[in-house]
Chains A and B, each alone.
Chain A
Amino acid sequence: MASSFGFGGSNAVTKAGTTSVNTAQTHMLDEHVLTPASINSIELHGAVNTRRSLLDHVLNPVVEEAAAQGTTLGQVLDHIGAATKKLARFDIFKEDGFSVFLSEAPRPDSGVPADRTELDISIRVKEKSRLVFSAGTDFGNTEGSAYTNAVARNVFGGAETLSVNASAGTRTRSAYNATLSAPVNGNPDLRLSAEALRSVTQKPWASHEEQLTGGNLRLAWLNENSDTHAVVYSAAWRQLTGLAATASPTVRADAGDSFKSSLTHTFTRDRRDNPMLPQSGYLLRSISELAGWGPLTGDVSFAKTEVEATGALPVSVPGVQGNSGVFVSGGFRMGVLYPLPLGYSLTGLTQPSRINDRFQLGGPTDVRGFKLGGLGPHDGVDAVGGDVYTAGSVNAYLPLPRTGPDSPLRLQLFANAGRLVAINSSTGKKSKEGNRKTLSMSSAAVLKGVGSALSELTNGVPSLAAGIGLVYAHPVARFELNFSLPLVQRKGEEGRKGFQVGVGINFL
């Protein structure tokens, strides 16, 4: 009874991890799915540069789970499917290179007939090339750059990735970074990475450039709800230099060196159907950062938190069957920077925030209809940033004539608003505190300052702009061409009347 059902090749497990099999085979399998089965052996072919210990982390659980009494063939197949999926997430094997072969293990001659089918499993993989060089152009949020990148995959055979990147761009004048990342405990969903970086970034909205030298250590994981978390420790030497001749006193006072040592937690829940032009679903993100306080030390100390929520809803149009291609979306962001004293105390003398730690708001990718950094406190031409902000937007998207609902092109109507306020102990008039002897604020003054900044957010109508434009969602970036007009703004804030181009990944 050599009923060896070796369904092999790409038919069996076509894509990594998808145990879906075509109907004819499903039919055949149906009869077998409930038969008891266990695993005799698993062989993995083609992983020549990969350490065995890494593979053991993934495959051992499969064998152990299959050893339990009452395991059926169907369950074994599920486990194997999950394991290949996991292998694929290491990003060291080619996605279309997976194939799984099952065969019944030859029974020893003297052996009593087993009560279940013993399986020999053979998984074939193809490793991705270990060294990849690439060069090209990139679009980030409102910036273009050219880059060269070298990636060494599976450096030590444990799915470690070393990536070295050099780029020069319109705003980031030069950037070099090297990242080494590795899965922890053979788990592709838990990665530890270390990065060293050095960059020079122009900040024309505040007449200076920032040189940054630093490093960070990141632990990122994906939980069972496919939410991503990341905890990052970063240390950075920031040098605010290269001031323009017209730089404002605020920027001049903040020029020079500062060292930031901070711990950041990022949470992302992305349930959108398409990150560039979501027609349904939502995105939640929160970023919380603690810098300088307690054992972190450094030159700046604050707690900073930002939350973002965006969502989209398809709109059904009467008379149109199925997806009309019309949808609406809304977004909201908020951030607070709370200065803290250095050291372990929560009360004590506190340094007010610096320009490179404060928030900037405005520009084609957040509050459209304003220049980059166009919102919030301005000292002359310089956007000097604020400690508290809110921003919101509502958009309606209509398909263009003669394009279907799946077209990446849309007509967009939008209205967005924002408010960016700085902490200030002497709001409006010069109080007696204006003549105090040191720059530091007392913790009571900070609390009062944050409170009044928060209440200032709702003082009057927020700065507001509305417009109409075209959106094109390319898989790597989203392009927008909008015509907008600022409706409400503060003196000094820089609205943009007329056309504005936006290129980016993350739009409000």
Chain B
Amino acid sequence: MATAPSGAASWRKMQIPRPLQQLFNHFPLHTYDANPLPERSQYLTSSDLPTLYVFSTESDARLGLPSFNPGCLKWQTLLRLAKLDFHVLPSTNHASPTGSLPFLLPSRTTSPPTTPPLPIPASNLLAYARKQQQQPKNKSQSQPFPDLDSTLPARSQAYLSLITLSLRNAWLHALYLDPSHTRLLQDLYVRPASSSRSVQAALLYQLRRAAAEQIITSTGGKVVSLSPVNSAAGVDEEAVYAAARDALDALATLLRESRTGWAFGREEPGVFDATLFSYVHLMVEYMSDEGVAAEAAAGGGGGVALGRLVREAGDGELVRHRERMLRVAWPEWDGYRR
């Protein structure tokens, strides 16, 4: 099964003498049934549904609620829009074949786990979902599946980059580098990894450094020093939030121009709507607390509530878009946790 190293492969090809091969065929003399898998494995991996590995909390995952990571949320939303039945498992980037979440693991097909399924990285999720829809048993609920590129105008790429650059940088800055969200960052990404204080401190440092590097490189800067930890030195904070404000305004205008309420006048929400929703939803959900932001502003911190920026953009089109998305993708959820 495993991609054997070439050395091992050529070793395999070596001819085994026939009498020896005949001897080998007699062994083992007796084979019992397979050993059952350990408890943790049984519980986490024996679902009958495909499993989407995302950043999430255990309780949210059980209910299938939205992930707190924009990248994961985008794909989770898309799979829900595609009406694919799946199960959500909280995980970490270490588990992913690509180095980052999300990825999907199809359900086990064989009961003794001799050939476990291979993971499907995010980039192949649309193709997978489409294939699942075409399967006869799913035909009944067949629904035209959102298409990524063909139906969208060329300018969609420009709007997409507003999300993947401007909104992303603002989200990264607010969550990872803005000290007023330290608690949130720890609750979402650090504490679930380990209960040990020293491990948490190391992870927090690594996360912040990686976020600062991402922002600087994506805004065309070079990472000069490797110590932009708390201060985020080298990140032009005002520029990041100004770009986010402009991007939100432009996106609100885009939605206002749409007759259907979905981006580019589509009849149904698609990849673009899911991508937009993944940031807008998280900004509203986690960064609407004016108190925290004001406090941080008074203390000299950044203190920009991204949730407020979302509300102020245009005439509130983004907030309404988020609510529509929630109604379509999470019809059974009232939008409140606990």
* A contact set with B: CB distance below 8 Å: 207, 235, 237, 239-241, 243-250, 252-259, 261, 297-299, 351-355, 358, 376-381, 384-387, 420-428, 434, 437-439, 441, 449, 460-461, 485-493, 495, 497-498
**Would you list 23 pairs from A and B whose C-beta atoms are within 8 A, ordered by A residue?**
A245-B3, A246-B2, A248-B113, A248-B116, A249-B41, A250-B45, A252-B45, A252-B105, A253-B45, A253-B91, A256-B91, A352-B38, A352-B40, A353-B40, A379-B41, A380-B113, A424-B39, A434-B43, A434-B46, A487-B30, A488-B30, A493-B35, A497-B24
- B47 to nearest A CB, angstroms? 10
A352-B40, A379-B37 given as contacts; is B1 within 8 A of A252 (CB)?
no
State the 8 A-B residue pairs at the shortest beta-carbon distance, nearest first: A352-B39, A422-B38, A259-B196, A249-B45, A255-B95, A491-B34, A256-B92, A250-B41
Name which of B65-73, B197-205, B245-253, B292-300 contacts chain A: B197-205
Residue numbers in A under 8 Å from B112 (CB-CB): 491-492
* Contact string against A for B residues 78-104, beta-carbon threshold 8 Å, 1 for contact and 0 otherwise: 000000000001011011110000000
A256-B92, A380-B114 given as contacts; is B36 within 8 A of A422 (CB)?
yes
Residue numbers in B under 8 Å from A253 (CB-CB): 40-41, 44-45, 89, 91, 95
Residue numbers in A under 8 Å from B203 (CB-CB): 257
- B151 to nearest A CB, angstroms? 33
* Contact string against A for B residues 31-62, beta-carbon threshold 8 Å, 1 for contact and 0 otherwise: 11111111111111110000101000010001
Q: A252-B45, A491-B112, A493-B35 are in contact. List 8 more A-B contacts (CB 8 A).
A: A250-B116, A252-B119, A253-B44, A254-B40, A258-B194, A377-B37, A486-B28, A487-B30
Residue numbers in A under 8 Å from B194 (CB-CB): 237, 257-259, 299
User: Are the C-beta atoms of A497 and B27 separated by less than 8 Å?
Assistant: yes
User: Are the C-beta atoms of A423 and B62 separated by less than 8 Å?
Assistant: no
* B contact set with A: CB distance below 8 Å: 1-3, 16, 20, 23-24, 27-46, 51, 53, 58, 62, 89, 91-92, 94-97, 105, 108, 112-119, 193-196, 198-199, 202-203
* Other-chain residue from B39, B42, B92 in contact with A255 (beta carbon distance below 8 A): B92
Q: Tell me, in angstroms, the Cα distance from A379 to B37 when the chains sit together.
A: 7
User: Are the C-beta atoms of B94 and A422 separated by less than 8 Å?
Assistant: no
- B109 to nearest A CB, angstroms? 12
* Other-chain residue from B43, B94, B114 in contact with A256 (beta carbon distance below 8 A): B94
- A380 to nearest B CB, angstroms? 4
User: Are the C-beta atoms of A495 and B28 separated by less than 8 Å?
Assistant: yes
- A489 to nearest B CB, angstroms? 5
User: Are the C-beta atoms of A491 and B33 separated by less than 8 Å?
Assistant: yes
- B81 to nearest A CB, angstroms? 25
* Other-chain residue from B28, B34, B58, B89 in contact with A438 (beta carbon distance below 8 A): B58
Considering the complex, give the chain A residue whose CB is closest to the CB of B29.
A487
Q: Tell me, in angstroms, the Cα distance from A386 to B37 when the chains sit together.
A: 8
User: Are the C-beta atoms of A244 and B42 separated by less than 8 Å?
Assistant: no
Q: Tell me, in angstroms, the Cα distance from A487 to B43 when the chains sit together.
A: 32
* Other-chain residue from B32, B35, B96, B115 in contact with A377 (beta carbon distance below 8 A): B35
User: Are the C-beta atoms of A461 and B30 separated by less than 8 Å?
Assistant: yes
User: Are the C-beta atoms of B2 and A250 separated by less than 8 Å?
Assistant: no
User: Are the C-beta atoms of A255 and B37 separated by less than 8 Å?
Assistant: no
User: Are the C-beta atoms of A240 and B94 separated by less than 8 Å?
Assistant: yes
User: Are the C-beta atoms of B113 and A428 separated by less than 8 Å?
Assistant: no
Q: Tell me, in angstroms, the Cα distance from A489 to B30 when the chains sit together.
A: 7
- A342 to nearest B CB, angstroms? 8
Residue numbers in A under 8 Å from B46 (CB-CB): 434
User: Are the C-beta atoms of B44 and A488 separated by less than 8 Å?
Assistant: no
Q: Tell me, in angstroms, the Cα distance from A425 to B38 when the chains sit together.
A: 9
Q: Tell me, in angstroms, the Cα distance from A329 to B187 when the chains sit together.
A: 56
Q: Tell me, in angstroms, the Cα distance from A297 to B197 when the chains sit together.
A: 11
User: Are the C-beta atoms of A239 and B28 separated by less than 8 Å?
Assistant: no
Residue numbers in B under 8 Å from A243 (CB-CB): 94-97
Residue numbers in A under 8 Å from B42 (CB-CB): 424-426, 434
- A392 to nearest B CB, angstroms? 18
